[in-house]
């Protein structure tokens, strides 16, 4: 078969997938981006093709501290950044500690390695619903234990107000650390044992081994892991939606806020503008990650 | 040979298309919410659809959509003008959907005229003075009380909101903190309905009479909200109420744990199912310093503008509103109240608790029929949640209510400025 014929055949194989991608991903993305530049709301939803073009107005509104939507969107961005700043390092540290333990040889290691994946493989809807019950003020076990230990005098509300985001953080760290552990464990197993042996001969302590061999050798894996977690965190939705409901109030993150603005309040263009920004941020992070991986390859 | 196959396939396709078109022309699609348990609701709908088909020759394809997904599904149907021919909408949704231009304007004289319906339900169908729906059934909330607990304390059901607190304190003395009343908290989507009745009773209103400005942050609004917050602050309601949704508050009463709760007629079925021995009775909502007020909700039936079967859709609405069907549906299935006045001629509504609901619905108020109502309700409810959170977290002070109501008013005025 000539190379031209092979090329044609390959094109035919790719074509169905490309058509699906075109209509399921690419066209909606560009259509969504177009919506961000028109005024599509409750008044124009039935005639969206004729909705007026408003240029950058929607973007200005959603980033303005003078509009209600702007204040709340900026707050949601801050929330997701704050959420990431706490949950990503927390998940990383727990994952690393457990990976270090699991990298040692002990009886039942394979079983433990499988068991730690349980939170990660539990569907979000199941895990976060359980956490919702755990944090319930009246029947939740968190308050039950805190009361029994005498740390609080009366049940506290975890899922509303300022504490809500911390409740989501706890649930998210619980759900996310096994993934970090899995990746870091794979990284640990790729570190050549000779390095440790040589260092031990030189009299290096366990801490020195970690500081000068393990941690530096994990850097590429860690960088990819942290960036991947940052991307996932930026469009965090399930945990907030399931734990805090359709209106997380002060704990809105961009994804939940966009859902509310676009589909509940029918401010579809503002929702589209917010989504475009979210997409650009995630895209930027993805480019950084790909560059980083290319750097590793070289 | 090849041509003969092409001709055969073409004929089959044509026949299929023709029969599908014929089928499409002879049926209408009806979307409604789970107004009753499926095991009774679906057989009733099937039976009525059959009856309608016999009468008109048109089949009714009904689809039951959960309340949680209904808003978005209807929004899509309005945007695409495809899907149902006729569908159910909540009363507060009707004007908002009318503003999209996707609903068919309805002349209510075809259904007996405006006066044939409960006033608040008729208002809920309007947008800029025109009707875009037909009232189907209504709901209003009254005060349910545990007769046994009241008898043990030796008190009568409260006639005013101040009296409710006096009675509540006596109940708390006997049964402990949080036992007087269960109220909806931050997780209740219908939180506003709970406060609006107190606000109106205290002489306040949500908006100015011209619907141009927020009015709920005035003195009456602040007092009414302070009254609501005081139920938790004074220990009449449990602190956990601050995060309750309405069903959690209802459950606390139905389980017999608390003495009072504002609930609707649909809760009666819940009591009969979950705790049939519960000793309870129902009275009108207490009066405030200015008047006695209640909220009117329920559902209307609307027609999609893009429907090609509008006349049949109207006939289906007429059919559902026939006295026998309406009484049967509200009385035996949805446990709501009919929105059409003639249905109240049924003696059932003059018995027991139903006469209380009937009387209360008579003076119940609907929210202003505005396109931006969703934004308004969201704004008020979100700041209401902040007040309840402050109450529950011990951060509540004298200024809390005014602070958050002013914030809500700012947001509401911003939304009202967008009303065309």
Structure tokens at B30: 């009806």
Phi first, then psi: give them for residue B84, nearest 5 degrees: -85, 155
A49 CA to chain B: closest CA distance, Å? 11
| B328 CB-side CA count, 13 A | 13
Interacting residues of B328 by C-beta distance below 8 A, sequence separation 6+? B44
CA separation for the pair B287, B162 (Å, rounded): 9
Label residue B90 by pLDDT band (50, 70, 90): very high
B146 strand-pairing partners: B280
pLDDT value, residue A105: 86
Q: Cβ B374–A249 below 8 Å, yes or no? A: no
What residue segments make up the domains of chain B, in order of their start? Answer: 2-139+297-365, 142-294+372-418
Q: Which of A157, A246, A263 sits opposite B243 (nearest CB)?
A: A157
**Domain A67-297 is found in CATH 2.30.30.100:** no
Q: Which of B78, B185, B374 sits opposite A264 (nearest CB)?
A: B374
> Is residue B220 predicted with pLDDT exceeding 60?
yes
Interface confidence, given as ipTM, is: 0.81
pLDDT value, residue B190: 87
Average pLDDT over residues B220-228: 97
Q: Are B235 and B175 in contact (CB under 8 A)?
A: no
Residue spans of alpha helices (H) in B102-218: 119-123, 147-153, 161-175, 191-201
| CA B161 distance to own-chain centroid | 23
CA separation for the pair A76, B335 (Å, rounded): 41
CA separation for the pair B310, A187 (Å, rounded): 66
CB atoms within 10 A of CB A138: 17
A163: chain B residues, CB-CB within 8 Å: 393
pLDDT value, residue B38: 92
Mean per-residue pLDDT over chain B, rounded: 93
Task: Please enumerate residues of B whose Cβ is less than 8 A from a Cβ of A.
Answer: 71-72, 75, 78-79, 81, 96, 99-102, 185-187, 189, 238-240, 242-243, 305, 371-372, 374-375, 378-379, 381-382, 385-386, 388-390, 392-393, 410-411, 414, 418, 420
B375: chain A residues, CB-CB within 8 Å: 265
CA separation for the pair A183, A96 (Å, rounded): 9
Q: Choose the mutation target among A41, A46, A61, A269 for the interface with B, i.e. most B CBs under 10 Å.
A: A46
pLDDT value, residue B129: 94
What confidence tens digit (pLDDT) does each residue in B336-350 have? 999 999 999 899 999
A229 CA to chain B: closest CA distance, Å? 30
Contacts A–B by Cβ distance under 8 A? 96
| CA A271 distance to own-chain centroid | 20
> Is residue B18 predicted with pLDDT exceeding 60?
no
Q: Which helix (H) or strand (E) holds B167?
A: helix B161-175
Q: Are B298 and B91 in contact (CB under 8 A)?
A: yes
Q: Which of A46, A162, A264 sits opposite B78 (nearest CB)?
A: A46
Residue of A nearest to B304 (CA): A46
Q: Are B392 and B238 in contact (CB under 8 A)?
A: no
Q: What's the CA dihedral at A169, A173, A176, A181 to 10 degrees? A: 160
A155: chain B residues, CB-CB within 8 Å: 239-240
Name which of B414, B302, B349, B288 is nearest B140 in CA terms. Answer: B349
CA separation for the pair A257, A78 (Å, rounded): 12
Q: Name the pTM for this structure.
A: 0.86
Q: Cβ B239–A137 below 8 Å, yes or no? A: yes
Query: What's the distance, Cα to Cα, between the start and end of chain B in Å?
Result: 65
Q: Cβ A161–B392 below 8 Å, yes or no? A: yes
For the segment(s) B142-294+372-418, the CATH number from 3.40.30.10, 3.40.50.720, 3.40.190.10, 1.10.3720.10 is: 3.40.190.10
A247 CA to chain B: closest CA distance, Å? 8
Interacting residues of B58 by C-beta distance below 8 A, sequence separation 6+? B26, B27, B28, B52, B309, B312, B315, B316
B238: chain A residues, CB-CB within 8 Å: 138
CA separation for the pair A64, A73 (Å, rounded): 9
CA separation for the pair B219, B202 (Å, rounded): 9
A154: chain B residues, CB-CB within 8 Å: 239
Report long-range pairs for A20-26 (Cβ below 8 Å, ≥24 apart).
none
CA separation for the pair A145, A141 (Å, rounded): 6
What confidence tens digit (pLDDT) does each residue in B106-144 have? 999 999 999 999 999 999 999 999 999 999 999 999 999
Name which of B169, B143, B171 is nearest B234 in CA terms. Answer: B169
Q: What is the DSSP string of A156-207?
A: --SSSGGGHHHHHHHHHHHHHHHHHHHHHHHHHHTS-HHHHHHHHHTT--HH
CA separation for the pair A144, A151 (Å, rounded): 10
> Is residue B10 predicted with pLDDT exceeding 70?
no
Structure tokens at B229: 């917050």
Q: Which of B240, B374, B379 sits opposite A138 (nearest CB)?
A: B240
Provide the 8-state DSSP code for B157.
P
Name which of B287, B249, B290, B259 is nearest B167 in CA terms. Answer: B259
B385: chain A residues, CB-CB within 8 Å: 160, 247, 249
pLDDT value, residue A157: 85
Q: Cβ A45–B75 below 8 Å, yes or no? A: yes
| pLDDT, tens digit only, all 298 positions of chain A | 678 888 889 999 999 999 999 999 999 999 999 999 999 999 999 888 889 999 999 999 999 999 889 999 999 999 999 999 999 999 999 999 999 999 988 888 889 988 999 999 999 999 999 999 999 887 899 999 999 999 998 888 888 888 899 999 999 999 999 999 999 999 999 999 999 999 999 999 999 999 999 999 999 999 999 999 999 998 899 999 999 988 888 899 999 999 999 998 899 999 999 999 999 999 999 998 888 877 765 5
pLDDT value, residue A155: 83
CA separation for the pair B235, A198 (Å, rounded): 69
A138: chain B residues, CB-CB within 8 Å: 238, 240
Q: Are B414 and B408 in contact (CB under 8 A)?
A: no
Q: Within chain B, how many helices (H) and strands (E) appear?
A: 16, 14
CA-based torsion, B165, B170, B173, B174: positive or negative: negative
CA separation for the pair A132, B243 (Å, rounded): 12
pLDDT value, residue B28: 97
Q: Which of B72, B386, B392 sits opposite A157 (nearest CB)?
A: B392
pLDDT value, residue B6: 64
A157: chain B residues, CB-CB within 8 Å: 239-240, 242-243, 389, 392-393
pLDDT value, residue B98: 97
| CA A40 distance to own-chain centroid | 29
Average pLDDT over residues B236-241: 90
Q: Which helix (H) or strand (E) holds B280?
A: strand B280-283
Phi first, then psi: give them for residue B260, nearest 5 degrees: -140, 155
Phi first, then psi: give them for residue B237, nearest 5 degrees: -110, 150
Structure tokens at A37: 């530049």
> Is residue B17 predicted with pLDDT exceeding 70?
no
Q: Cβ A46–B411 below 8 Å, yes or no? A: no
Architecture of domain B2-139+297-365: 3-Layer(aba) Sandwich (3.40)
SS (H, E, C) B295-326: ECEEEEEEEECCCCCHHHHHHHHHHHHCHHHH
What's the Cα-to-Cα distance from A48 to each of A26, A44, B78, B302, B309, rounded to whole Å?
19, 6, 11, 22, 24
pLDDT value, residue B323: 95
Phi first, then psi: give them for residue B403, nearest 5 degrees: -55, -50
Structure tokens at A151: 């740390």
pLDDT value, residue A1: 67
| Helical pair B219-233 and B161-175, crossing angle rounded to 10 deg | 10
The CA-based diameter of chain A, rounded to the nearest angstrom, is 80
> Is residue B12 predicted with pLDDT exceeding 70?
no
Interacting residues of B349 by C-beta distance below 8 A, sequence separation 6+? B337, B343, B355, B357, B358
pLDDT value, residue B396: 93
A68: chain B residues, CB-CB within 8 Å: 379, 410-411, 414
pLDDT value, residue B2: 59
Average pLDDT over residues B281-307: 96
B144 strand-pairing partners: B261, B282
> Is residue B11 predicted with pLDDT exceeding 80?
no
Interacting residues of B374 by C-beta distance below 8 A, sequence separation 6+? A42, A264, A265, A266, B96
Average pLDDT over residues B264-271: 91
CA separation for the pair B26, B323 (Å, rounded): 26
Tally the residues of chain A. Answer: 298
CB atoms within 10 A of CB B196: 23
**CA geometry: angle B173, B201, B335, nearest 5 deg:** 80
Q: Which of B71, B186, B414 sits opposite A68 (nearest CB)?
A: B414
A262 CA to chain B: closest CA distance, Å? 10
Phi first, then psi: give them for residue A284, nearest 5 degrees: -60, -45
B388: chain A residues, CB-CB within 8 Å: 160
What's the Cα-to-Cα distance from B312 to each of A284, B57, B308, rounded to whole Å?
54, 10, 9
What residue segments make up the domains of chain A, in order of their start? Answer: 67-297
pLDDT value, residue B8: 67
Structure tokens at A283: 């895209």
Q: Cβ B414–A67 below 8 Å, yes or no? A: yes
**CA geometry: angle B137, B142, B143, nearest 5 deg:** 160
């Amino acid at each position: 078969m000539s190379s031209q014929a092979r090329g044609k055949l390959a094109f035919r194989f790719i074509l169905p997938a490309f058509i699906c991608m075109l209509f399921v991903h690419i066209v909606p993305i560009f259509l969504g981006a177009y919506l961000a530049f028109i005024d599509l709301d409750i008044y124009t939803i039935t005639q969206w093709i004729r909705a007026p073009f408003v240029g950058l107005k929607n973007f200005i509104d959603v980033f303005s501290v003078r509009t209600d939507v702007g204040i709340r969107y900026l707050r949601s961005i801050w929330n997701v950044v704050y959420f990431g700043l706490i949950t990503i390092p927390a998940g990383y540290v727990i994952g690393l500690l457990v990976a270090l333990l699991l990298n040692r040889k002990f009886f039942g290691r394979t079983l433990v390695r499988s068991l730690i994946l349980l939170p990660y493989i539990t569907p979000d809807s199941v895990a976060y619903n359980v956490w919702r019950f755990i944090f319930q003020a009246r029947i939740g076990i968190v308050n039950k234990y805190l009361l029994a230990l005498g740390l609080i005098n009366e049940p506290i509300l975890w899922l509303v107000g300022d504490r809500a985001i911390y409740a989501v953080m706890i649930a998210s760290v619980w759900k996310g650390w096994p993934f970090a552990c899995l990746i870091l464990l794979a990284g640990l197993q790729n570190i050549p044992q000779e390095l440790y042996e040589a260092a031990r001969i030189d009299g290096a302590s366990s801490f020195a081994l970690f500081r000068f061999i393990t941690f530096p050798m994990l850097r590429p894996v860690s960088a990819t892991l942290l960036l991947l977690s940052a991307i996932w965190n930026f469009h965090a939705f399930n945990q907030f939606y399931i734990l805090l409901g359709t209106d997380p109030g002060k704990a809105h993150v961009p994804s939940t806020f966009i859902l509310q603005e676009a589909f509940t309040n029918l401010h579809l263009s503002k929702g589209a503008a917010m989504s475009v920004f979210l997409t650009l941020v995630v895209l930027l992070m993805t480019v950084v990650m790909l560059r980083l991986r290319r750097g590793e390859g070289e | 040979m090849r041509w003969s196959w092409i001709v055969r396939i073409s004929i089959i396709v044509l026949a299929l298309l023709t029969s599908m078109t014929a089928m499409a022309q002879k049926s209408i699609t009806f979307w409604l919410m789970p107004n009753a348990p499926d095991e009774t609701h679906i057989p009733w709908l099937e039976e009525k659809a059959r009856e309608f088909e016999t009468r008109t020759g048109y089949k009714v394809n009904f689809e039951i959509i959960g309340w949680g997904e209904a808003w978005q599904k209807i929004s899509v149907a309005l945007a695409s003008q495809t899907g149902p021919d006729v569908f159910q909408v909540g009363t507060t949704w009707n004007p908002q959907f009318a503003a999209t231009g996707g609903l068919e304007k309805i002349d209510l004289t075809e259904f007996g005229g405006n006066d044939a319906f409960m006033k608040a339900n008729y208002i809920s169908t309007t947008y800029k003075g025109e009707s875009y729906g037909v009232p189907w059934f209504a709901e209003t909330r009254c005060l349910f009380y545990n007769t046994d607990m009241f008898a043990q304390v030796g008190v009568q059901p409260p006639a005013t909101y101040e009296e409710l607190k006096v009675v509540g304190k006596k109940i708390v003395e006997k049964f402990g903190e949080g036992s007087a009343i269960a109220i909806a908290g931050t997780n209740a989507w219908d939180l506003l309905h709970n406060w609006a009745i107190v606000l109106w009773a205290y002489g306040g209103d949500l908006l100015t009479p011209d619907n141009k400005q927020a009015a709920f942050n005035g003195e009456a609004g602040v007092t009414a909200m302070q009254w609501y917050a005081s139920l938790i602050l004074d220990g009449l309601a449990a602190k956990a109420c601050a995060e309750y949704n309405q069903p959690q508050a209802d459950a606390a009463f139905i389980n017999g744990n608390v003495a009072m709760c504002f609930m609707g007629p649909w809760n009666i079925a819940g009591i009969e199912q979950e705790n049939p021995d519960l000793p309870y009775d129902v009275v009108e909502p207490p009066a405030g310093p200015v008047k006695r007020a209640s909220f009117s909700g329920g559902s209307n039936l609307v027609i999609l503008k893009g429907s090609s079967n509008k006349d049949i859709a109207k006939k289906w609405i007429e059919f559902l509103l026939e006295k026998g069907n309406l009484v049967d549906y509200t009385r035996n299935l949805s446990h709501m109240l009919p929105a059409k006045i003639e249905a109240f001629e049924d003696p059932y509504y003059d018995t027991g608790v139903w006469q209380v609901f009937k009387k209360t619905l008579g003076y119940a108020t609907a929210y202003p029929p505005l396109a931006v109502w969703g934004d308004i309700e969201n704004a008020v409810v979100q700041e209401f949640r902040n007040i309840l959170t402050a109450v529950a977290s011990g951060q509540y002070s004298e200024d809390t209510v005014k602070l958050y109501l002013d914030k809500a008013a700012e947001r509401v005025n911003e939304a009202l400025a967008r009303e065309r």
